[in-house]
Structure formats: structure tokens, C-alpha cells
Chain A
Amino acid sequence: MNASEPHGFLLNLGRAAMLVGVLLAWHVLTATGILPPFFFGTPIKVFYQIWVWFSTGTIWRHLGITLLETLLAFFGGTLLGLILGLWLGLQPTASALLSPYLKAFNSMPRLILAPIFAVWFGLGIWSKVALGISIVFFLVFFNVFHGVREVNPVVLANTRMIGANQRQLLRMVYLPSAMTWVFASLHNAVGMAFVGAVIGEYLGSVKGIGYLILEAEGIFDIDAVLAGVIVLTICAYVLDLIVTAAERHLLRWQAH
């Protein structure tokens, strides 16, 4: 460890001080009218709104739906990306055939698909899950797809020499090797899964944090909008921490 690196306790203290400082500045600026509270909200009202949501329990069915959509999109997209990335990575002919279309799909801003998904899957959770999957999938897929071609050829040859057949190679070499690239994309994927869910909810829903935010915006309740944003941010951050913990465990063989 670097000697000049701050101590753990001091570091956390500094971070907390930063948060308090920003909230304080927000409060002072809006209380004195330098920033109009109509556009910027006030921290006290925002946290009061969050408190009301959680104490009355009205938020749970919205938060539950948004989290469900996000998790389904996250796991569905990751799994599909991993499977298809591995498969196409190992099939030069199929990948050569499909590569221009995959690139076109990837460069297309997938949010424009939201209306189509709404028509196909209705206003329930599945249109949001589909949107989330369409975003997460490509993130994971391209990482795995390029990663498969970079599997260490010596490790591959060695594992073949000790007797592995194609299926055993997949399990013993390609899959564990692919986990490195999967995790490289998962941190982005967490945020993107939320984007899919919330954008889907903006475009048409009757439940979810996105719906809550949209509803508040409709009556110019900027405090509730910001409260929704903060709740979502905390959820995304917690999910990212879980991904980091899983990464630490599954990639514990790597030198740090």
C-alpha cells in the first residue's frame, strides 16, 4: 500500500464531509433564494418526501416493480450476452455472417425501440424488461465475443493435451476466461438496466419509480422528482456494490 494513501477512517470522514457540504450548500442556496426552489427543490422537502414514501409504504410497490424489471433485464441480458458471445466467438462462419448486423444493432440507439416494445409487450413489466435486455445484452455480448478470441492459446493447447474435448474446453477454459470480460461490462450493465426500466416507465406505465417521477413532474413537484432520482441512485449503487462483491469472489484468482 502507498504510504501517502489516506487512512480508511479519515477517508470515510472526508467523503461524509463532502456529502454534508453539498447538501448544506444546496440548502443555503435555495433557502436564500439564490437558486429558485421551484426549479431546484430543497433538500429538506426532498428528504421529507422520501421519508413519507417509506414510512407510509407507498413506495414499495413502485420500487419493487422497477427493481424487478431491472434485475430481470440485468440477468437476462447478461446470460444471453454470455451465451451468444461464447457461441459466436467460437463459430467463425456464423460470426462473419452476422457481424455487420450485430454492429448495426449495437450502433443503433436502442431507446428508440421502446415504443415498439410497448406495442409488442404491453404496458406491463415485460416491455421494460425487453428494453433493458436489448441494452445490457450488447454490452456483455461484445465483451465476451472479443474476449473469446483472446483466450490464451497456450492454455488452450495445454488443456487439449491433457485430454479435454470441446465441451470440457468450454467449461474449463472458455467459460472461466469469459468471466473476466463479463465482469468488465457488468458495472456498466447495472446502470443500463436501470435506464431501460425507467425510460420504459416514462413512456407508459402505471407503476414504478419512473412512473412516480413522471407523475410528480406533471404537477411540477420538483422535490418528488429529485426524491425519485435519489432513491434510484442509491439502488443502482447498492447493486453495483453487489456486483463488485461477486467479482471479488469469482475473480479471486487474479493478482491485485
Chain B
Amino acid sequence: MITPAVSLRDVTCAFQPRTRRDTPYTAVRDVSLAIADGEFVSIVGPTGCGKSTILNMIAGLLTPASGTVSVFGTPLSGLNRQAGYMFQADALMPWRNAIQNVMAGLEIRGIPAAECRRQAQDWLQRVGLRTRGEAWLHQLSGGMRKRVALAQILILEPRILLMDEPFGALDVQTRQLMENELLALWSANRKSVVFITHDLEEAISMSDRVVVMSAGPAARPIGEFVIDLPRPRDVAEVRLTPAFLKIHAAIWDTMRDEVLKGYHQHERV
């Protein structure tokens, strides 16, 4: 069997309570999941289902209470150095301009400044921001900032890409543009992608496989769906095909009860 890029085995993650009287909050329980090298996997589920918790454990930002996270067969300890992480919120350094943000990772690795700049310019071009390198972040639109963030991560050539609802804050048109661009970049140089979203259509249109989570607490995967829609895909067009609608109906059937459950739990709190 080929070693998966990422594998989680019986992973549980709990958060310490704020006060001593509260019981610890178990975000995810007994999660087992494997992502193959070069595979694009989306994790979908209702709000509060621990999607981000799973991603943070793969990134090494969180340590599981029990179970193991392995990266290319090696158990993970500390931060995952094979992974690039794209956050939901703006995560760039606002005191650096676009190109300085893109080259930050190379700078950290001690690569000479001129070489950093050359590669960063090359990546800015690839994400369609050739002329905006000197712009400050507040001078860029939300979509442009996401491109800078993508370039900042991809310039380091990670073997795994972790994305936590990266396009959630964008408007629908910009979002579909970014999704198509991500797919284009991804298919040019296939990395493993773990993509978190609550948007089922986004998940299906981009992924090779969709994992559905149950509602939290103690969330776990309750369904896996292989998406065999042909590539290359256009995320806007693929949504109109009968095959897409069929998969969508099947996954929604699994998800619906959990979404309602999650909704009611939040209402109670």
C-alpha cells in the first residue's frame, strides 16, 4: 500500500474548560482519515463540527489528546513542515507590502534577498498580481489579498496544502474565480489538499473526495463520497451538470440531519 500524505488514526481532540467546574469540550472523537499524495479532499459539516480542529491537528498547531497524526508515514511532532496553511481570516503581515509578504517564507529559510525577490515576483505573476508587488495590503481587494496569501504559501512548495474556508469572506464571483485559479495551480503541480468548507457545492466542484462530518461535540466523519466528475473542471459550469446534482443530492441526504442537529445545539446554547 502506498503511504498516504496525511493519515489520522483514532484521533481525539479536547479543549480544556475555562473554569474548573466545566467538563472538557471534546471537539472531535475517534477520527480516522487518510489523504493520498496529490489528492484533493474536502471536509464539510455543520458549524461547530470540528473541521478546523482536524486541520489544525494536521498542521501541528494542535496536539491530539489521543491517536496519531502521520505525515508521509512519520508521526507528527511539532509543526507540520511539509504543509502550507491558508487561513480563513487575513493572515498576512500588514506592515509588509505584497511582494515582501510573498517572499517572507524564503527569507526565513535564509535565502539571499535578491533570489527571494526574483522568486516572489515570479509567483506574483502566477497569481495575476505582476504589477501589484509594491502595494500595501489595505490597497488590495479581498480577492487580491487571498492571491498574495496563496503565493506566500506556494512559493515554499509544500507537499500538503491545508485550507480553512479560505474563500469564505469573498463575494460569489471572486470566489469562483479564486476556486478556478486554485484548481489550475493545483493541477499544474499536484499536491495533497485538505480543504475545509461549509459550502457543499464548493466542496463537490473542487474535490476528488468529500468527507462529511457529524455535528459536534465529539464529531466524527459519517460519510465519504468520491467525486468522479471529469477534470479540468470549471467550478461554475460543473454545478449545472446532472452528475453534479446527483452527487449533491446524495451527500445532502447524509448531511441534512447533522446540519439540523448542529443548528439546534447552537440554538440551545
Task: Mark each residue of chain A from 154 to 165: 1 if its CB lies under 8 Å from any CB of chain B, else 0.
Answer: 110111111111
- Chain A contacts with B in 161-217, Cβ cutoff 8 A: 161-165, 168, 172-173, 176-177, 179
Of the residues A172, A173, A177, A253, contact of B97 by C-beta under 8 Å: A253
CB neighbours of A97 from chain B (8 A): none
Interface assignment of A255: CB less than 8 Å from any CB of chain B: yes
Contact between A158 and B95, CB atoms less than 8 A apart: no
CA distance A165 to B83 in the complex (A): 16
CB neighbours of B97 from chain A (8 A): 253
Which of B101-109, B171-179, B223-231 interfaces with chain A? Answer: B101-109
Contact between B85 and A158, CB atoms less than 8 A apart: yes
Contact between B85 and A163, CB atoms less than 8 A apart: no
Contact between A163 and B81, CB atoms less than 8 A apart: yes
CA distance A73 to B112 in the complex (A): 38
Chain B: minimal CB distance from A158 (Å): 4
CA distance A224 to B97 in the complex (A): 52
Q: A162-B105, A162-B153, A162-B156 are in contact. Are A157 and B138 (CB under 8 A)?
A: no
Chain A: minimal CB distance from B148 (Å): 12
CA distance A179 to B96 in the complex (A): 13
Contact between B136 and A161, CB atoms less than 8 A apart: no
CB neighbours of A160 from chain B (8 A): 61, 79
CB neighbours of B136 from chain A (8 A): 252-253, 255
Of the residues B90, B94, B108, B137, contact of A168 by C-beta under 8 Å: B108
Q: A155-B91, A177-B95, A253-B95 are in contact. Are A161 and B108 (CB under 8 A)?
A: no
CB neighbours of B89 from chain A (8 A): 154
Interface assignment of A4: CB less than 8 Å from any CB of chain B: no
Contact between B87 and A254, CB atoms less than 8 A apart: no
Chain A: minimal CB distance from B145 (Å): 12
Task: Mark each residue of chain B from 70 to 106: 1 if its CB lies under 8 Å from any CB of chain A, else 0.
Answer: 0000000001010111010111111111000000110
CB neighbours of B94 from chain A (8 A): 155, 253-254
Residue of A nearest to B81 (CB): A163
- Chain B contacts with A in 117-171, Cβ cutoff 8 A: 136-138, 149, 152-153, 156
CB neighbours of A157 from chain B (8 A): 61, 85, 87, 91
Size of the B side of the interface (Cβ < 8 Å), in residues, is 28
Contact between B104 and A162, CB atoms less than 8 A apart: yes
Main SS class of interface, B: loop
Q: A157-B87, A158-B87, A253-B136 are in contact. Are A163 and B92 (CB under 8 A)?
A: no
Size of the A side of the interface (Cβ < 8 Å), in residues, is 21
Chain A: minimal CB distance from B61 (Å): 6
Contact between B84 and A161, CB atoms less than 8 A apart: yes
- Chain A contacts with B in 226-256, Cβ cutoff 8 A: 252-255
Contact between B93 and A159, CB atoms less than 8 A apart: yes
Interface assignment of B59: CB less than 8 Å from any CB of chain A: yes
Contact between A158 and B92, CB atoms less than 8 A apart: yes
Q: A162-B104, A162-B156 are in contact. Are A253 and B91 (CB under 8 A)?
A: no
CB neighbours of A177 from chain B (8 A): 95
Contact between B104 and A159, CB atoms less than 8 A apart: yes
Residue of B nearest to A251 (CB): B95
Residue of B nearest to A165 (CB): B108
CA distance A204 to B149 in the complex (A): 59
CB neighbours of A164 from chain B (8 A): 108
Task: Mark each residue of chain A from 136 to 165: 1 if its CB lies under 8 Å from any CB of chain B, else 0.
Answer: 000000000000000000110111111111
Chain A: minimal CB distance from B156 (Å): 6
CB neighbours of A176 from chain B (8 A): 93, 95
CA distance A168 to B89 in the complex (A): 22
Of the residues B93, B149, B156, contact of A172 by C-beta under 8 Å: B93
CA distance A110 to B52 in the complex (A): 50
Of the residues B81, B83, B93, contact of A155 by C-beta under 8 Å: B93
CA distance A255 to B145 in the complex (A): 15
Chain A: minimal CB distance from B54 (Å): 16
CB neighbours of A172 from chain B (8 A): 93, 104, 108
16 A-B residue pairs with Cβ-Cβ distance under 8 Å, sorted by A, are A154-B87, A154-B91, A155-B94, A157-B85, A158-B87, A158-B91, A158-B92, A161-B85, A162-B152, A162-B153, A163-B156, A165-B108, A172-B104, A172-B108, A253-B95, A255-B136
Q: A157-B61, A168-B108, A253-B95 are in contact. List 20 more A-B contacts (CB 8 A).
A: A154-B87, A154-B89, A154-B90, A155-B91, A155-B92, A155-B94, A157-B85, A158-B91, A158-B149, A161-B59, A161-B61, A162-B84, A162-B105, A162-B152, A163-B81, A163-B108, A163-B156, A172-B93, A253-B136, A255-B138
